[in-house]
Copies of this chain bind each other. A is one copy, B any other.
Amino acid sequence: MNDNTRIAILGGGHGAFAHAADLSIKGLEVNLFEIPEMAETIAEVKRRGGIESEPDPSTGLKGGFGKLHKVTSDAGEAFDGVDVVFVVVPAFAQEAFAKAIAPHVKEDQVIVLSPGNFGGAIVFARVLRQHGCKPLPVLCEAQSMIYACRKSGPASVKIHGFKEGMGVAAFPSRLTGKAMSVLQKIYPKLKAAESVLWTGLSNPNPISHPTITILNAGRIEGTSGDFLFYVEGVTPAVRRVFDTLDKERMAVGAELGLKLVPNREMTKRWYRHQSVGEEMHDTSKLGVYQSIRAQKELDNRYLTEDVPYGLVPLEDMGKLVGVDTPICRSLIDLSNSLLGVDFRQTGRTLRNIGLGGMSVFQIQRLVEEGEI
């Protein structure tokens, strides 16, 4: 691997656009890959040859046009000569991407699920193996996505926030050091995390998104999301509920021996350079969260991703370690009823990711060593 790390970004959503634009503006060679079924999301990027980035000045990022090296739905082409891969897709799409890239992945590549969501790397490793990828690359999970962003058009993205000190762990953890030596060349302020159990339980989205969504469900559906999600949707009582939920998360983590960071503290650390306080609805001229509007409908990743891939495993880990999680359970049950689904069946329980029946010790051993 040379100093000019070559990168592939996988996905065609908000985050993939932000990664691709920002890293190419920083001078790196970047390929953008989307699976053929979703190729429409990158069609205009392909036509224009890149993505326009519009970062908030407080992020410290440069804006402009990020010219991409390749924009493709051919995985072989996207992976050719690439050192680091960021998989910036919703949790429910991780398996499809793993399957698509399996034939092209190489052992010396570093693949980062950004974010991993709970169990993402474990699932990714299994699917890669099932599709003939052997030996595995260095697989990592980020606790969240490094950019807070929204697409502003078919080939442009607005970046509201840029996280400092975000945690990344490899699966297994013994490879985290190796991964970080590569990743910190790209994002110098990333931090090594304890394990993928830590990253899996440290994404703040499942704490805030479902809480705000459910406690504003009537308004979202009734007005098609015509309000400011973090400003108008977060009142003191709403905040109280997600503080309670965060305490449940911290209690589960403590039983697993993890040093989790409270949600409010995490937000402050990430965005201190952008002068964001601990209150989501703080009026801030810098606006990481200020201008973000609510989703247009309830059937949205704030529930369909954050509940099955965030709250369902939190509840499940709680059961494993004997910690009751009533708010977590309530948000799952209400999501199921609001959408007429069963996220406990489709989401990431230990059983669903292949760890059913394991003890806490066995799971800890697995994430550290990659085997039991």
A residues engaging B (CB < 8 A)?
A: 212, 214-219, 221-222, 232-238, 240-241, 244, 298, 326-327, 329-331, 333-334, 337-340
Contact = CB atoms under 8 A, between A and B. Distances in A.
Contact of A337 (B221, B241, B334): B241
16 contacts: A212-B218, A214-B214, A216-B216, A216-B217, A218-B235, A218-B238, A221-B235, A237-B339, A240-B338, A240-B340, A326-B333, A327-B333, A327-B337, A329-B329, A330-B330, A334-B334
A369 to B, nearest CB: 38
Contacts of A214: 214-215
Contacts of A219: 216, 218-219
A241 B336 CA distance: 9
Given A217-B238, A218-B219, A238-B218, A334 B338 contact: no
Identical chains bound together, number: 2
A248 to B, nearest CB: 10
Contacts of A327: 333-334, 337
A238 B240 CA distance: 22
A298 B232 CA distance: 16
A208 to B, nearest CB: 12
A326 B218 CA distance: 20
Given A327-B333, A329-B330, A218 B240 contact: no
A236 B299 CA distance: 12
B212 A236 contact: no
Contacts of A216: 215-219
Contacts of A334: 215, 241, 327, 330, 334
Contacts of A340: 240
Nearest to A245: B337
A217 B240 contact: no
A183 to B, nearest CB: 37
Given A218-B219, A221-B238, 13 more contacts: A215-B216, A215-B334, A216-B218, A217-B235, A218-B233, A219-B219, A222-B232, A237-B298, A237-B338, A241-B337, A241-B338, A329-B330, A330-B333
